[in-house]
Amino acid sequence: MSNQKIKVAIVGASGFTGSELARLLLNHEEVSIEMITSESHVGKPFSELHPQFFDRLDIPLVSADEVEKIKPAVIFLALPHGVSMDFVAKWKDTGAKIIDLSGDFRLSSKEVYEEWYDKKHSYPEGFETAIYGLPELFAEQIKKATLVANPGCYPTASILSMAPLFAKRLVQEKSLIIDAKSGLTGAGIKANATTHFSNVNENFKAYGIAGHRHTIEIEEQLGALTGSQAIVQFTPHLLPVDRGILVTAYAKVNQDMNQEKLTQIYKDFYQNKPFVRLRNQAPGIKDVRGSHFCDVFPVWDERTERVIVISVIDNLLKGAASQAVHNMNLMFGLTESEGLSQVPLKP
């Protein structure tokens, strides 16, 4: 890399993802944050929206209309589903690489998107060029990409829990059950009746049962590993915590298995993947909080003849912002771990 820093624009500053992106990029040696946008807060310092940046990142927020003026090398879209697609269409020819943190280009086609997101897709051409931004599976394609669809947080933890077995075609058809729990920040920054303190505190509940929109994202990616269709029973739950996702995945396998064999399959698959840590005991969400790690713990249950895999991530980081930075590192030929070596924050 030359001494010239990568010019970055973050589009969408008001949410948790935008603020976490800014926090990571502020300490990234190769990057210069040139612009942060927010349509509803134009003119305010970024640090007024996110006081943790006081005296560290006080740049005034601008409208997204200003982005092209600075000719950024990379644009991070930290926008809601259904909004990003218009900006991708608008900026596709600017020469900037685009990393979209919404769900607008994560699926295989316009039709699949419209069915699961119940929204019209205005830029179907994007599906032809978008690369699914999970570095553990697609690092080589990401290096050449101009549009990366940053994966969802639930799918990241879910796919990484089961990818080694799907890659070897070991999972019995229709046997995969994923039971997933997320902290409250997964619901975004805008409060509503569901995320009201009195509803979440001291409470625990399932939602999106038998049809959550992340189901199809998990199915498409695991299916692609085997070259056939994957059917997944996926149930998300809301935890009364700030951040973190814990996935417990259960599957039947179609060959003789034991713990040693299972552990070896996971070691082989993740041996050169610096941010997947294979644990020798069940990880908790605090083991990865504030970091880019996905901790994975595969168990063979001799009695039920099932694989059980525990997988944990920080939903705002490996599930969003740090994953986007990892993708940027790959797209610009940087060391994969540049700006991402934070040790988890505990307690």
- Structure tokens that stand for 196 in this block: 């009201």
Whose tokens are 């729990």? That residue is 181
| Distance between CA atoms of residues 117 and 111, nearest Å | 10
| Distance between CA atoms of residues 197 and 215, nearest Å | 27
| Closest by CA position to 162, among listed 211, 234, 112 | 234
The catalytically annotated residue of 153, 162, 285, 317 is 153
Whose tokens are 């805008």? That residue is 190
| Closest by CA position to 246, among listed 193, 195, 176, 308 | 308
First to last CA, the chain: 37
Integer CA distances (angstroms), 3 to 28, 31, 325, 331, in order = 13, 10, 19, 17
Phi then psi for residue 190, to 5 deg, are -80, 125
The single-letter code of the amino acid at 30 is E
Tell me whether strands 176-182 and 245-251 are parallel, antiparallel or unpaired.
antiparallel
What burial class does residue 112 get, using C-beta atoms within 10 Å of its C-beta: 0-12 exposed, 13-18 middle, 19+ buried? Answer: middle
294 annotated active-site: no
Beta strands (DSSP E) in 274-327 are 276-278, 294-301, 306-313
| Distance between CA atoms of residues 315 and 152, nearest Å | 9
Which residues belong to the active site? Answer: 153
